[in-house]
Amino acid sequence: MDKISTENIDLKVKLLEDFREFESGLNGETKNYFHKIRQDAIGTFNELGFPVKKLEEWKYTNINPILKHDFKTTQHFADSKLSADDIKDFLFQENGVNLLVFVNGQFDEKLSKIITKNDGVFIGSLLKGRVILGEVVEQHFSKYANYKNQSLTALNTAFAKDGAFIYVKRNAAVDEPVHILNISDSRDESYLSQPRNLYIAEEGASVKIVEDYYSIGGKHSFTNAVTEIYCGPNSNLERYKIQSEGEYAYNINTTQVMQEKDSLFSDTTISWGGAITRNNLCAVFNGTNTECHFYGLYLLNGKQHVDNHTLADHAMPNCYSNELYKGIIDDKATGVFNGKIMVREDAQKTNAYQSNGNILLSEDATIYSKPQLEIFADDVKCSHGATTGQLNNEEMFYLRARGIGKEEARILLLNAFAGDVIDSVKIDSLKKKLRNTLSKKLTKEN
């Protein structure tokens, strides 16, 4: 086991104390399965400590700056002080959407709005879901996101209390997208929010989920989110995760997907903001003929740091995975892409593709791009490609020779570069909002 650095000790010790306090406030709940898992998880966190750069998986991401702040945890949260007006700008569509609002990890029922009324569909908070659909939660909770070797997943699991819970029963379809709005409100205090999300699409079910992360306020915030997704046989689940937080926000986000046979899962992860962001995304294929798509876009400036770790785990034959991640990095920002494709012995006839493209706009911008293919089957089609460069001079000259100014040409080319990731978005209103944000960010950069 790696030793934790001395800088880490304060927050770790504080969190362990916080856990005891959290536990003492739970009263009768401490004896159920849910809390048994928490207790086991805090033990793991205590053992592992925060990840250090010596670990291969954290080689390029130093989380020490996060650990210097005195974050308040779950039991110290004040009630949400936000109004409908405060969150207006965070919406991609005002009507025709299910809206779940979480402020510092706590469900804000007043600001939330559920419009899908289908039988067998639950869209709401995990806290409530545990009451109404206790058996379903018990069947899936902490079954996919393994915390035994992931200290931050362990930390989240230890404090697991609330988050978004979406349950779509067999053959049900949720037509209206679900918008989960996570807001870090650090106007008064620095908070550690640990949303615990669970999305379940049973056999033949379909749903589209948009997870947005925003921050307000001038103090630091730390979100350590864990999302577990279960895609039943022949289900279709689309998930969009968009990080739009400000310069004082830290966000570590772990998503673990379990895909049964014939299921289709698609993830789009977009990182616009935040000081340090780490996205872990893993899909495990537990049945044949499953398909998954990973799309990603990161647009970084200042001293931002974004680390995307993905894993497509082909455990069964005849599955398809496709990954496209793109980054535009300016100033002194750093991007990390670590995309792994695992093709296990039984996964014959696997088709797995991966591509990572980066444009560096300044001398001080950095990208660490690491594609990893581990193939143990012999009849597979796999490919990966990574490109990193500056804006293409020939393309620039072609545009400028037509009277298009240098700045306008730059924006046109960068929009085009990032465009195919945004084209993968299947919710029109969201796609439009993302396109606008992209153009605005590209224009603002100079």
Partner 1 sequence: MLTIKNLKAKVETDEGGKEILKGLNLQVNAGEVHAIMGPNGSGKSTLASVVTGREGYEVQSGEVLFEGKDLLELSPEDRARQGIFLAFQYPVEIPGVSNTNFLKTAVNEIRKSKGEEPMSSVEFLKMIKEKAKLVNIEPEMLSRYVNVGFSGGEKKRNEIFQLAMLNPKLSILDETDSGLDIDALRTVAEGVNKLRSKENAFIVITHYQRLLDYIVPDFVHVMYDGKIVKSGGKELALHLEEHGYDWITESMLSV
Interface with partner 1 in residues 130-169 (CB under 8 A): none
- Site for partner 1 contains 394 (CB under 8 A): yes
Residue 409 CB, nearest approach to partner 1 (Å): 8
Give the C-alpha distances (Å, rounded to integers) separating 247 from 66, 177, 216, 308. 12, 29, 10, 18
446 touching partner 1, by CB under 8 A? no
User: Does the footprint of partner 1 cover residue 405 (CB under 8 A)?
Assistant: yes
- Angle of helix 33-48 versus helix 6-24 axis, rounded to 10: 160
Choose, by CB under 8 A, the member of 3, 95, 389, 401 that binds partner 1: 401
Q: Please give the size of the binding site for partner 1, defined by CB under 8 A.
A: 23
Of the pair 2, 408, the CB lying nearest partner 1 is at 408
Choose the binding region for partner 1 from 13-21, 307-315, 375-383, 393-401 (rule: CB under 8 A).
393-401
* DSSP code at position 268: E
* Minimum separation from the CB atom of position 358 to partner 1 (A): 15
Residue nearer to partner 1 on the CB measure, 170 or 400 = 400
Q: Which is nearer to partner 1, 375 or 412 (CB)?
A: 412
Footprint of partner 1 on 406-445 (CB under 8 A)? 406, 408-409, 412-413, 415-417, 419-420
Nearer residue to partner 1 within complex by CB, 346 or 408: 408
* Residue 238 contacts residue 266 (beta carbons within 8 Å): yes
Instruction: Judge contact between 107 and 100, C-beta under 8 A.
Output: yes
- The CB-of-415 to partner 1 minimum distance in angstroms stands at 7
Cα 117 to Cα 391: distance, rounded to the nearest angstrom = 49
Sketch the per residue contact string, 81 through 120, with partner 1: x for CB under 8 A, - otherwise. Answer: ----------------------------------------
Q: Which residues are within 8 A (CB) of 35 and not within 5 positions of it... i.e. 6 or more apart?
A: 23, 26, 29
Q: How far is CA 266 from CA 207, 236, 269, 291, 427, in A?
A: 11, 8, 10, 8, 13
| Sequence letter at residue 301 | N
Instruction: Considering only the stretches 11-19, 291-299, 348-356, 392-400, report the one whose residues sit in contact with partner 1 under the rule CB under 8 A.
Output: 392-400
Select the span of 29-37, 138-146, 388-396, 430-438 touching partner 1 (CB under 8 A).
388-396
Whichever of 91 and 399 has its CB closer to partner 1, that residue is: 399
Q: DSSP assignment of 208-250, as one string?
A: EEEEEEEEESSS-EEEEEEEEEEE-TT-EEEEEEEE---TTEE
Interface with partner 1, residue 389, by CB under 8 A:
no
Q: Per-residue x/- mask for partner 1, residues 342 to 381, rule CB under 8 A?
A: ----------------------------------------
Q: Does 390 bind partner 1 (CB under 8 A)?
A: no
**3-state percent helix, strand, coil for the chain, nearest multiple of 5:** 25, 35, 35
Among 175, 398, 426, 446, binds partner 1 (CB under 8 A): 398
Contact 212, 179 (CB under 8 A): yes
By beta-carbon proximity to partner 1, the closer residue of 26 and 399 is 399
Is 105:122 a contact under the CB 8 Å cutoff?
no
- Say whether residue 246 binds partner 1 (CB under 8 A): no
Q: What are phi and psi of 258, to 5 degrees?
A: -115, 120
Binding of partner 1 by 391 (CB under 8 A): no
Specify the residue, 316 or 413, whose C-beta has the smaller distance to partner 1: 413
Token couple for 411: 């924006």
DSSP states along 132-200: HTHHHHHHHTTSSS--TT-HHHHHHHHT----EEEEE-TT-B--SPEEEEEEEE-SSS-EEE--EEEEE
Whether 217 and 186 have beta carbons less than 8 Å apart is answered as yes
Q: Shortest approach of partner 1 to residue 361 CB, angstroms? A: 17
Give contact residues for partner 1 (rule: CB under 8 A).
Answer: 392-395, 397-406, 408-409, 412-413, 415-417, 419-420
